Amino acid sequence: MEVILKEDVINLGHRGDVVKVAEGYGRNYLLPKKLAMQATAANKTVIEQMKASALRRSAREKGEAEQLVAQLDAVALVFERKVGENEHLFGSVTSADIAQQLEAKGFNIERRKITLEEPLKSVGEFLVPVKLHREVTAHIKVTVKGEEAAA
């Protein structure tokens, strides 16, 4: 089945691409979620118009993302967690924790855009990548400190 992607789909393609997918994947996932439309002759002409507007939108989003990178470079987040032996955290710092603290500082960034390979489970300083756009990635400085035990 050939479909035209309306949105970027990870491991499949970008907005406006014509791709071949399995019948079930297209019919049961891509089409109902409005991520794609069937590749007919009429839809292909419509998609050419959509591609032009998508290029303009992508350029605008990239510009906004680059401005946000400049603002995020100055941001440093600090988390305090209880630590055990060898400075190993009892909990961890996840992308949801980072997104929540960024929102408290006035940045509305989705948790899914924060690309932590695995949660931070040790004390130290980390550079956490945030994928704001397909071509733009910011790096946020995250410091994890050990919480002082009450005497």
Tens digit of each residue's pLDDT (9 = 90 or more) over 18-34: 899 999 999 999 999 99
For the chain, the domain total comes to 2
Domain membership of residue 49 (yes or no) is: yes
Domain identity same for 53 and 74: no
CB crowding 43-56: b at 16 or more within 10 Å, else e: beeebeebeeebee
Domain identity same for 50 and 81: no
Domain membership of residue 123 (yes or no) is: yes
Provide the domain limits for residue 90.
70-146
CATH number at 115 reads 3.10.430.100
d(CA 133, CA 64) in angstroms, rounded, equals: 9
Residue 121 has pLDDT above 90, yes or no: no
Residue 6 has pLDDT above 50, yes or no: yes
